[in-house]
Each structure stands twice: as C-alpha cells, then as structure tokens.
Amino acid sequence: MACARTAAQKNKHISETTAMKDSYFIEKETLAEGERLELSSLLASLNFNSDGLIPVITQDADDKQVLMMAWMNADTLEKTLHTGLMTYWSRSRQAEWIKGKSSGHWQQLVSMRIDCDGDTILCQVNQTGAACHTGRRHCFYFKVSAEQQEVVINSGLS
C-alpha cells in the first residue's frame, strides 16, 4: 500500500522538479543562434504551474497585435502542435477548447516560441474573426490611464 505524501513532501518534489526543468533552460542560455534542439526534450522541460498549466500569449502573425492570453496543459499543447489549431484549457469549465470551434473565430498556429525560463508560450496565429469572446478583435480593451486614474473602454491599442 502506497503512503500518501505530506504537503511538505509534495512541495519538495515540486521544487526539485522545477529546479531540474529550470536547469534545462539555464544550460541552453549559451547556445548560438541557429542551433537546434529536440522538441520532445524541450516540451518535457516546460515549467507548468501547480495546476499543470502554462500561460500562452497569442499574437496576430501579421500585425503582431497581442490578441489574448489563455492557458494550455500538456495535452492541449500537443493537440495544438499536431492539428495547427489553437487548443487551450479553460480553467472555468475545466475542459479543453479549440478556439473557433463554437464561434467560427479560428486561430491557426503560424509559429510558437517558448520564453527563456520555459514558463510562458508565445504563439503567432492567423486569426479569423474576433479573438475575444466579447466580439472584439482582442481581449485587452480596458485601457488604464494612471495619470487620469480611470479606465477607458478602447478596442484600439493606441
């Protein structure tokens, strides 16, 4: 019969696992431009959070506008790479969702980048229709003015 791990043991395991994964990316810091890595090794070294998720910033491949931020788990990341369709994990519904499947506002993967720590993904996409569930082109329409101490609804990014 297996023993249940204590919270301290689980936290120690998470810390050790994170340290091993961090070392993967630290070792790669000195690689020269153009060197190649095995994709499966990099994916296995990603730093998912304690819920098994990693943040994904989605950007329009043509105009570079940031469209949205969402989450992926290991399965939705693999599905995105396999199908070329952006597939995310919905924290509220606790289910995967393929962007555009219900709305018709598809996101086709053009390129994917992993940040230097392996804890954030940047995807450039071809966006069909609105990226935001509100029908706006992007999700960042609350424009904060620190000077005026107010927020303006602004779908443009100027």
Express as a percent the part of the chain with pLDDT over 90.
Answer: 82
Q: Which residues belong to the annotated binding site for Zn(2+)?
A: 116, 132, 139
Say how far apart CA 64 and CA 59 lie, in whole Å.
6
> What CATH number matches the domain at 7-28+37-133, 3.40.50.300, 3.40.50.1860, 1.10.357.10, 3.10.20.810?
3.10.20.810
Mean pLDDT along residues 53-79: 98
Token pair of 104 as six digits: 């018709």
Binding site residue list: 115-117, 119, 132, 139
Q: Which positions ≥6 away from 76 have C-beta within 8 Å?
A: 87, 88, 89, 96
Q: What is the pTM assigned to this prediction?
A: 0.83
As a whole number of angstroms, the distance between CA 128 and CA 158 comes to: 22
Domain ranges of the chain: 7-28+37-133
What pLDDT, on a 0 to 100 scale, did the predictor assign at position 62?
97
The residues with which 150 forms a beta bridge, in sequence order, are 145
* Binding-site residue ranges for Mg(2+): 115, 117, 119
